[in-house]
Amino acid sequence: MKWTISHIPENNIVHIETSGTMTADPLNQMVKEVIEAGKLHNARLYLVDHRNVHVKMSFIETVERPYELDRLHFPRNSRIAQVIPETHIELFRFLETVMLNRGYHIRVFKDIGLAQEWLTGRPPTVRVVAPSPR
Tens digit of pLDDT for each residue in 62-117? 889 999 999 999 999 999 999 999 888 888 999 999 999 999 999 999 999 999 99
Residue 122: φ, ψ to 5°: -155, 160
Closest CA to 53 of 96, 104, 17: 17
| The pTM of the whole model exceeds 0.85 | yes
Tens digit of pLDDT for each residue in 22-43? 999 999 999 999 999 999 999 9
25 contact partners, CB below 8 Å, separation of at least 6: none
Report all structural domains of the chain as residue ranges with CATH numbers, in order of start: 2-120 (3.30.750.24)
Which of 54-60's residues contact partners 24+ apart within 8 Å by CB, and which partners?
54/20, 54/21, 54/22, 55/21, 55/22, 55/88, 55/91, 56/21, 56/22, 56/23, 57/22, 57/23, 57/24, 57/27
Tens digit of pLDDT for each residue in 95-109? 999 999 999 999 999
